[in-house]
Structures are given as structure tokens and as C-alpha cells.
Amino acid sequence: MSKQLLINGSTHNINLPDNVPLLWVLRDEVGLTGTKFGCGAGVCGACTVHVDGEAVRSCQITLADVGGEVTTIEGLGTPNNMSIIQQAWVDHQVAQCGYCQSGQIMNASALLHETNQPTDQDIDYAMKGNLCRCGTYPRIRAAIKEAARRIAEKVET
């Protein structure tokens, strides 16, 4: 019943049954509430986190199946030290209600790791699993492109 999880660089001992989804481990056990519950069925993307850099729906992966380091939105950057992608989100004033944005940012961040200069089609394909009921899609697209530009500039310098 006990398992060690590496989350955002810290080790946590988790005493929960193997079948508990990672989402509920993070939110209710570890207290990392930046990761959101939206559907519980892997169809809205609000709970997206990284496991070893790959975007996963944390409501669909059980504690037993977590086989690597978990990164949540809190691990990506903080209000005083935001990651490039979070800064792009702020600069484009993407968020409205904001509830889906942790998942959007985590998913977009994984996309940029895989495809450093995504086309519109890449963005469509990668982001179609992340629902936003406020309709912030145009600004999400703009923020992803902006972050891609800044990451490329950083690599060059």
C-alpha cells in the first residue's frame, strides 16, 4: 500500500491503494491542487500532468502505473519564477475562468518538448483533447507560438 513518488523534485510516501488515480493522489493526498478534475474520463484534459516529461491524463493513470517522475503545474514554474510557457500565457492574457489552463499549459509544454516549432496542424492535433468552455483557444494558440519563438531564441543565445 505504500509507494514512493517523485513529484516536482520531492519524494512523497503515498499510502493509498494501487488503483487510486494519480489525480486524486496529487489533489487530496499531496495537496497539489493546481491539477484539476474536469471529467474523470480522460476527455477534457484539465488533469494533465507530465510523467517523465510526457503529458498524461492523471485521472486515467493509477498510482500503480506511475513509473517515473511526476511534474505538475506547480513544478513547471511559480508566480515569481514562471517558465517560458507560463510567461507566454500571462503575456497573451490567455486565462478567463482559468480552470482548464493548468492542463492546457502542461499539454502545450509537452508538445513544445516534442515539436519545438509546431505548425497550426501540430497544435490542433496535440491540443484537441484539452477542452476550454470559456473559448480561449485563439489565445492558447498564440501563446504556444510565442513560447516556441522564445524557446528558440534562448537556444540560439
Partner 1 sequence: MTSVRTIARRTFLIGSAAIVGGAAFGVYQINKDAPNPLVAREGEVTLNPFVLITRDGVTLIAPRAEMGQGVQTTLAALLAEELDVAWEDITVLHGPPAQAYYNSVFLGFAIPGAHYKDTAFKHGLRQQVGKVGKLLDLQATGGSTSMKDFFERMRYVGASARETLKIAASRKIGIDLEKLSTKNSAVIVPDGTRISYLDLVEEVRHVTPPDVELRDKSEWNYIGKPMPRVDVVAKSTGTAEYATDMQLDGMRFATVRMSPTRNGMVSYDDTLAKNMDGVEAIIDLGDGIAVVATNTWFAIQAAGAIDIKWASATYPADTLVLRSAIMASLDGETDSTVRDDGDVDMKVAGTVVTAEYYVPWLAHTTMEPMTATAHFTGNTLEVWVGNQSPTATRDACAIAVGLDPSQVIIQTTMMGGSFGRRGESDFSVQAAILAKAMPSTPIRMTWTRAEDIKNDFFRPAIAAQFRGVVANGKAVLVDGKIAGPSVFQKSSLRQQGSIPPGPDRLHVEGAADQPYGIQNFRIAGHLTDIDVPVGFWRSVGASANGFIFDTFIDELAHAAGVDPLQFRLELTRSEHSPSASVIDAVCEMSGWTGTTPDGIGRGVAFTHSFGTPVAVVTEVEDTGGGIKINKCWIAADLGVVLDPHIVESQMISGVIYGLSAAIHGEITFSDGVVEQENFYDYDALRMHNAPKFEVRLLENNPFIGGAGEPSTPPSMPALGNALFDLTGNRARELPLKKTFSLIL
Q: Which is it for strands 2-7 and 10-15: parallel, antiparallel or unpaired?
A: antiparallel
Which spans of this chain sit near partner 1 (rule: CB under 8 A)?
Answer: 16-17, 20-21, 23-24, 27-29, 31-41, 43-44, 46, 72-74, 76-79, 82, 86, 89-90, 93-102, 105, 123-125, 127-141
Question: 33 near 27, Cβ under 8 Å?
Answer: yes
Question: 30 near 66, Cβ under 8 Å?
Answer: no
Q: Which is it for strands 48-51 and 10-15: parallel, antiparallel or unpaired?
A: unpaired
Would you say 132 or 157 has its CB closer to partner 1?
132
In the complex, the smallest distance separating the C-beta of residue 156 from partner 1, rounded to whole angstroms, is 25
Residue 153 parent element (H or E): helix 137-156
In the complex, the smallest distance separating the C-beta of residue 152 from partner 1, rounded to whole angstroms, is 21
Would you say 78 or 116 has its CB closer to partner 1?
78
In the complex, the smallest distance separating the C-beta of residue 68 from partner 1, rounded to whole angstroms, is 20
